[in-house]
Chain A
Amino acid sequence: MGTVITVSSLTKHYGDRVAVDDMSFDVAAGRVTGFVGPNGAGKSTTMRMMVGLTRPDRGGVRYRGIDYTRLLRPARVVGAVLDARCMHPGRTARMHLRATAALSAIPVRRVDEVLAEVGLGNAADQRAGSFSLGMRQRLALAGALLGEPEVLLLDEPSNGLDPDGIRWLRNSLTAFARAGGTVFVSSHLIGELEMFADDLVVVGGGRLLAAEPVASTLARGHSTVVVRTPQAAELAELLDRRDLEIDAVDVIDQRLSIRGTTTATVSQIAFDHRIHVIEISETSRSLEEILLDMTGATAEYASA
């Protein structure tokens, strides 16, 4: 299916501050790509440039080779939700969507279809001003789905959603990608993202830090194997000969920890050399911890 979005050399300055610095990455079709980074990393600016709302100083974004601002029917290619509050509080959900549909020559029947799809069928004639943030998120997503787009571009879509809403969103986006659609979604809920994203684009300080499958990011967080054995020193020597990274050896406590390996490897070595193992366990670092490490140095607003 190839690449559907090509971001090349995207750069944006606000005065002296570089919001987005020479960012380039591709987004593959039919996959969910998470867009992550700390606050002020340039995620929202990048996403706004991806739909032509913010003019880049340099570089551009192409959808199947065409610049967003030159797309014939943008709503049929990209459905974007960059701010769930983007609706007039005095207009009903149905009329909000009808106005959006009319602008892109989308048949009016789609309005009721997408309202049902996002679970707002019963609230169609309520004014958006009476909606909770979660309902607004759903209405904004309905607007993005109106044109049956190939790509969904979502900035923090789970903001304001309750746990049931978050699960609904995850299932919807996964189903959208499984049906061949492409999802590019920014989120601070890394644990949530880990459950359904295939790929990650990691940014920090306006720069691209990584663009890779989630599995590759997870592989960056070396797991640690902890072994309890009365022959800790002997096992440490054996592992060292195999260039495994010994984190700590505690002969008195009969404990040994090794980084970047697996229990299978360590137990096999111990078995081959008749080393008595009392206990063996493996701890992995979460995606959140790995990403914090990756972006830590670039975080503009870090906690004390």
Chain B
Amino acid sequence: MTITTPSITPSATPHPLALPDRSVGERARRDDVASIPTALRSEWIKLTTLRSNVTILALTPIIGVLLSFILAVFVEIDRDTNKPYNIAETFVFSTWLTTVLAAIAGILLFTSEVQHGTMATVMTAQPARWVTVAAKGVLAACFGLAMGALGMIGGLSGAVLGGLESGDTSEMPAKVLWALLVAALAPILGLGIGMILRHSAAAVSILLVWVFVLENLIRALIPANVHRFLPFSAANGLLGTATGTDTPEMIAAELSRVQDAFLFGGYAAAALAVGTVLLYRRDMT
């Protein structure tokens, strides 16, 4: 067999209907930055046009209402403090579940795109991969904020419906802000985990096992001044919700909320950074 010279002779004359010759421009860094709004718009369309996201968002206040209402009506007394539940404390309780749900939403923001092959379309249209990460990160944080806010509104409503006393409301604004910060950071952490693992079931399973099993086991095995640095210990610290299993040593070793914020934010940023590096290094399937 003869191997020919690897070139193709073009047609001698252009077709009469030929398109005008287009100028093909080369991208600069400022073009990447300028394309962030379009990437955000695209992510927004994707986020809002899936029923699963709307369902997650709708579930959040329902969980808040139910949790507060059940505590108010069926439990009534906080076993840790031996005092009746009140609105000022109860409204934020569901944020812990909201945080986990928001982290799962963050995971799915990336892994569902990989699973359905749409990430390849995104990477083809936007070769500057960090732009996509930035857009997804912003959207994830906004989604988390919305979830956090709705969860607390639900929690407040459930507590009021359950007939709880208002309690000391002076710390409520600060609690709301810290809770919103946790809810905004959680999906960014989830997004990073999703980018690292690229598989929905694996990423969600690992997250849930870590949150509900492993971190609790580790907390039981290592000293309080070490386990306070674990990610969801920091998130708990930010929410200011005692678990009931906290020993006096644990309480003494607690970090300040600002430290917890930096710690949890650091985990989220690290996961996102590792995910971004891997996104550049790996082939997109």
Contact = CB atoms under 8 A, between A and B. Distances in A.
Interface of A: 1-3, 24-31, 33, 48, 51-55, 63-66, 68-78, 80, 82-83, 85-92, 95, 98-100, 102-105, 143, 150, 177-181, 198-199, 201, 208-213, 216, 220, 293-294, 297
B123 A26 contact: no
Contact of A77 (B18, B22, B49, B113): B22
Contact of A71 (B5, B21, B52, B127): B127
B19 A181 contact: yes
A86 B123 CA distance: 12
A1 B24 contact: no
6 contacts: A24-B6, A26-B7, A70-B27, A71-B24, A71-B26, A211-B6
Contact of B121 (A3, A98, A143, A216): A143
B155 to A, nearest CB: 29
B9 A213 contact: yes
Contact of A91 (B8, B14, B18, B50): B50
A70 B32 CA distance: 10
B276 interface: no
A77 B25 CA distance: 10
- Summarize B's interface: helix, strand, loop or mixed: loop
Given A66-B26, A77-B24, A103-B42, A88 B15 contact: no
A209 to B, nearest CB: 6
B24 A66 contact: yes
B120 A28 contact: no
Q: What are the nearest 8 A-B pairs in CB distance?
A: A180-B18, A28-B10, A72-B25, A86-B117, A180-B19, A103-B42, A102-B42, A95-B49
Interface in B104-132: 112-113, 116-118, 120-127
A66 B127 CA distance: 13
Contacts of A86: 116-118, 120-121
Contact of A179 (B3, B7, B17, B39): B17
A101 to B, nearest CB: 8
A1 B11 CA distance: 8
A92 B118 contact: no
A106 to B, nearest CB: 9
A259 B35 CA distance: 61
Contacts of B22: 76-77, 150
Contacts of B46: 88, 91, 99
B83 interface: no
Nearest to A3: B10
A185 to B, nearest CB: 14
A72 B8 contact: no
Q: Which of A75, A89, A103, A210 has the most CB of B within 10 A?
A: A103
A87 B3 contact: no
Contacts of A72: 24-27, 31
Contacts of B1: 209, 293-294, 297
A30 B41 CA distance: 34
A48 B283 contact: yes
A68 B126 CA distance: 10
Given A54-B284, A150-B22, A87 B9 contact: no
Contacts of A104: 38, 125-126
Contact of B8 (A27, A70, A293): A27
Contacts of A150: 19, 22, 24
Contacts of A199: 8
B25 A30 contact: no
B283 A51 contact: no
B81 interface: no
